[in-house]
Chain A
Amino acid sequence: MVHIDLRQVMVTFPQPDGGEFLAVNSFDLKVEKGEFVTIVGPSGCGKSTILSVVDGLIRPSGGEALINGKPVTGPGSDRALVFQEFALLPWRTVESNIMLGLELQHKVPRGKIEALVSHYIKMVGLQGFERHHPHQLSGGMRQRVGIARALAVNPEILLMDEPFAALDAQTREIMSAELLRIWEQEKKTVLFVTHSIDEAVYLADRIVVLSGCPGCVREIIPVSLSRPRNLEIKDEAEFVRLRRHIWGLLEQEAQRQAGGRAGS
């Protein structure tokens, strides 16, 4: 069943000079229910904008975004966003941050919130840190809070906007393995934006490779690696082949960006 259906989505932002900046151009993607789709591409290719469209934070200037066949009109409790910057309230404890979404949506009665929160604290492995504040936690633990907060509202779709980009390389590996473990339990539909090819391959059922022209799909690649996956899978021939293939698609763009954005 098609869960997220993006048809010819176009996003433009008004510029101070009166012109318009084209962030995403005629983007097409269908995501099945329970599917894990990663979007990978160079910086500034409109990856995060696409997530914002699905979340309802940005209205497309052209085309349409459908969820379960209905047009997206704004944010809703069927979707939850996980942020690169974690977006935790620094004055709230872990526990209280995780219940934030539930509080804001006013759907779950107060009495049931506590049980839900402790369930998700356990799921993301933060037992014993309930009363800690974000600044007392490592980056990886902070994002565990971010993930638990998103899961706690029981969304059908999890939108992840480069959630591990602010973490160091080792933590990042561990967190993506953790994410898969959690996803195996929850079976949400996941749309995951990243600029890490490794991460994109490791997590995905399908990978959407974007190119520099704003939001243009270079290729959509199905990943046939078996699940559940552990980190050793990164040494398998198929993984290496996919990684090399995607790098081939992105290299030209990456070289251009690394070389001081010549030509942009």
Chain B
Amino acid sequence: MVTLAHLYRRFDAPFLGTLGLVAALCLWEIASRLKWADPILISSPTMVAVALKNWAVTGALWRDLGTSLWELIVAFGASAVVGIPLGVAMGWNRPAEYALDPFVWLLYSTPLVSFWPLFIIWLGIGVKAIIALAFLFSIVQIVINTMAGVRNIDPVLIRCARSFDARTIDLFFKFTLPGALLMIVAGLRLALGRALIGVVVGELFSANAGLGFHISYYGAKLRFGDVFASLFVIVVIGVATTQLIRLFEARLVSWKS
């Protein structure tokens, strides 16, 4: 018989996680209602809900969401298309790694936001510059993971391939690439998060639509309910897209379980 105790033991992690979240929301609502802090500054869950509803009803939500998603998909897609072959080349070929390595670490350790003024000049204010920023945020992670995945193939498998006198093309497609696949997809998952940051940051600076724009617009008007509403939508996008890739990952490693 399934008792409550059983259920709890089975689902304790999601249960306690939800409990913590609900408790925090209640505390927030109470703090706002009892004016522990200025409700204009801290807003409240109900105010956020109302803001979200109004945003959806006017249709602006769908326009902002569409703009941000479009920027995210283009930037992320382009960084995957460019980043995976670059990472493969660097993992496969030492000279390629030595030649490209400085650029990767430069991009990885530079605060990429500082490129923003350049992008504005080169690409103009708006979607193009935002996509360029998100692209840079995203591609580094993809290159690094792909390179590591290609590089870290088990040496005994290489020995096995050589012993069977494998052609280079077979070594690549039957050993290296499938062996690196998990690392590559994990890189895509992390890169997606970084691309989302790039999109939001770009929109915060200069845009006339998008979730980041929504934040900066209402932030300037001190309408923090609306600001939190767009944060909420951004979190939902981040979690949803990441989970999508996780599902894909789980399918890929079906041979492990």
Residues of chain A touching chain B, judged by Cβ–Cβ distance below 8 Å, are 55, 57, 74-77, 79-81, 83, 85, 87, 89-92, 100-101, 103-106, 133, 135, 153
* Subset of 30 A-B contacts with CB under 8 Å: A55-B163, A57-B159, A57-B163, A74-B165, A75-B162, A75-B165, A77-B165, A80-B163, A81-B163, A83-B156, A83-B159, A83-B160, A87-B156, A89-B174, A89-B179, A91-B178, A91-B179, A91-B255, A92-B255, A100-B164, A103-B174, A104-B161, A105-B164, A105-B165, A106-B167, A133-B255, A133-B256, A135-B255, A135-B256, A153-B164
> Per DSSP, are chain B's interface residues mostly helix, strand or loop, or mixed?
helix
In the complex, which residue of chain A has the Cβ closest to the Cβ of B182? A91
Q: A76 near B165 (CB under 8 angstroms)?
A: yes
The yes or no answer to B56 lying at the interface (CB within 8 A) is no
Partner of B165, one of A87, A90, A91, A104: A104
* A contact residues around B163 at 8 Å (CB): 55, 57, 75, 79-81
Give the dominant DSSP class at A's interface. Answer: loop
| Cβ-defined partner of B166 (8 Å) among A92, A104, A133 | A104
Q: Which chain B residues (134-186) contact chain A, with CB distance < 8 Å?
A: 154, 156-157, 159-167, 170, 174-175, 178-179, 181
| B12 CB → nearest A CB, Å | 28
The residues of B that contact A80 with a CB separation of less than 8 Å are 163-164
A85–B159 Cα distance when bound, in Å, is 11
Q: How far is the CB of A80 from chain B (nearest CB, A)?
A: 7
Known: A89-B178, A104-B174. A57 touches B160 (CB 8 A): no
Q: Hey, which chain B residues are within 8 Å of A153, CB to CB? A: 164
Is A85 a contact partner of B178 (Cβ separation < 8 A)? no
Q: How many contacting A-B pairs (Cβ < 8 A)?
A: 58
B190 → chain A, closest Cβ, in Å? 22
B6 to nearest A CB, angstroms?
Answer: 29
Q: How far is the CA of A81 from the CA of B165 in the complex (A)?
A: 11
Which B residues are in CB contact (< 8 Å) with A103?
170, 174
Point out which of A85, A87, A101 has the most chain B C-beta atoms below 10 A from its C-beta: A87
Nearest-CB distance from A108 to chain B (Å)?
13
- Name the residue of chain A whose CB is nearest to the CB of B175: A89
* Distance in angstroms between the alpha carbons of A76 and B163 in the assembled complex: 8
Closest approach, in angstroms, between the C-beta of B183 and any C-beta of chain A? 13
Taking CB atoms, residues of chain B closer than 8 Å to A89 are 157, 174-175, 178-179
Provide the residues of chain B in CB contact with A75, threshold 8 Å.
162-165
Task: Please give, as numbers and ranges, the residues of chain B lying within 8 Å of A133 by CB-CB distance.
Answer: 255-256
Task: Rank and list the top 4 A-B pairs by shortest CB-CB distance, nearest first.
Answer: A87-B160, A104-B164, A133-B255, A75-B165
Q: Knowing A89-B178, A91-B178, A105-B165 are in contact, say whether A81-B256 is a contact too (CB < 8 A).
A: no
Q: Please, how many angstroms separate the alpha-carbon atoms of A214 and B83 in the complex?
A: 47
Could you tell me the distance between the alpha carbons of A103 and B167 in the complex, rounded to whole angstroms?
11
